[in-house]
Amino acid sequence: MQATEARAPAAAREMFYSEALGDALRLEMARDERVIVIGEDIAEHGGAFQVTAGLLERFGPTRIRQTPISEIGIVGAAVGAALTGLRPVVELMYVDFAGLAMDQIVNQAAQNRFMFGGQARVPMVLRTQGGSGRGNAAQHSKSLEAWFAHVAGLKVVMPSTPGDAKGLLTAAIRDDNPVIFLEHKLLYRTKGPVPEGEHLVPLGKADVKRAGRDLVIVTWSREVLFALEAAERLARDEIEAEVVDARTLVPLDKETILASVRKTHRVLVLHEAVKRGGYGAEIAAMIAEEAFDDLDAPPRRLAGLETPIPYAQHLERSVVPQVDDIVRAAKELVA
């Protein structure tokens, strides 16, 4: 996170990722009365990961609208509210619960604009979190970004730092399309500088989190932190890895990724989600199509094993890329 720190304006404050998200919600709700938050346990409890802590006191129970456990009802109500003039932000407690709401996400929210010939807009954000690393096992630990990225009509955002979390959530709330905003459960308690006041990070812009000449690691969400740690270790062996944080998968910032590929000629695409059918395949294929002649080696993917997430800590770590795995893969790639 060194690069982000260096670029942060003077009026930045150290915040947890969860606080940065709450800051974005607070500012956008104060700015626009049409913004409401809807979801489970978001009121007195402050959200399962404390993102909405304090918002009930500030905005009251009609704008911090806590619901029964009714995922498709919640998401569908948000679609209807978005179509008719509100700008709802849904909190879906775990991305693993998206299956319960998938019809409203895919057949309704995503396709509304297209199906009805552009008559309506669906300005809603579906905030949820995924990822492993907390012993929550198979039904509470998945990384499902590829599901959403496959559906025309959705935007998909995956911030890795507190500053990006705030800026991207602000942009997502102001976007007129349904945005799937995927947080990571192990990022909530990470700290970083967050610009005070209004802070926008446009959707569709990747971020070079570390510059390097020997290879580029293209990644997102928590694996960005792993990649930066791996890059530090690689530097000790005089391998300079560039780390590109995609930040939004849809729309994807191809230019930034391709510029790094053209500079380093070697690319490792890294994600926590299962490798088979993962979004890394899309990025690797895009690079092969657009920059084949710039490559000195085939694009390489490092991603989760094709298994549900296991419970035991050592098993959990064994199925998603760890720093050691990244270092090893990078060394093989530059060898």
Site for other proteins, rule CB under 8 A: 34, 36, 62-63, 65, 67-68, 70, 72-86, 88, 103-104, 107-108, 112-121, 123, 152-153, 155, 175-177, 251
Minimum CB separation from other proteins for residue 198, in Å?
19
Do the bridges between strand 215-219 and strand 191-195 make them parallel or antiparallel, or are there none, so unpaired?
Answer: unpaired
Catalytic position from the list 19, 28, 40, 140: 140
CB-wise, 204 or 321, nearer to other proteins? 204
Minimum CB separation from other proteins for residue 235, in Å?
39
- How near is the Cβ of 244 to other proteins at its closest, in Å? 23
Are 86 and 34 a contacting pair, CB within 8 Å? yes
Which strands, in side-by-side order, build the sheet including 155-157?
A: 64-66, 35-39, 87-92, 125-130, 179-184, 155-157, 248-250
Which residues lie closer than 8 Å to 11 by C-beta, 6 or more apart?
A: 195, 196, 197
Q: Is 150 a catalytic residue?
A: no
Q: How far is the CB of 37 from other proteins (least distance, A)?
A: 12
Q: How far is the CB of 175 from other proteins (least distance, A)?
A: 7
Q: Are the C-beta atoms of residues 287 and 267 closer than 8 Å to each other?
A: yes
Is the CB of 124 or the CB of 182 nearer to other proteins? 124
Three-state secondary structure call for residue 250: strand
Complex with other proteins: residue 118 or 197, whichever CB lies closer: 118
Residues in contact with 46: Cβ distance below 8 Å, sequence separation at least 6, in sequence order:
52, 53, 54, 55, 56
Q: Which is nearer to other proteins, 85 or 197 (CB)?
A: 85
Rounded alpha-carbon distances, angstroms, from residue 197 to 161, 167, 316: 17, 10, 38
Nearer to other proteins, 77 or 244 (CB): 77
Helix (H), strand (E) counts: the chain: 13, 14
Q: Residue 24 and residue 126: Cα distance in Å, rounded?
A: 14
Give the residue with the Cβ less far from other proteins, 113 or 185.
Answer: 113
The least distance separating other proteins from the CB of residue 55, rounded to whole angstroms, comes to 16
Measured from the CB of residue 146, what is the shortest distance to other proteins in angstroms?
Answer: 18
CB 133 within 8 A of CB 186: yes
Q: With respect to other proteins, which residue has the nearer C-beta, 102 or 258?
A: 102
For residue 298, cis peptide bond before it (omega within 30 degrees of 0) = no
Tokens 């009930």 locate to 56
Q: Are strands 267-274 and 300-304 parallel, antiparallel or unpaired?
A: parallel
Options 19, 28, 40, 71, the catalytic residue: 71
Cα–Cα distance, 246 to 268 (Å, whole number): 13
In this structure, how many other beta carbons lie within 10 angstroms of the beta carbon of residue 310? 18
Give, for 323, the enclosing helix (H) or strand (E).
Answer: helix 323-334
Reply yes or no on whether 314 is catalytic.
no
Residues with catalytic function: 71, 140
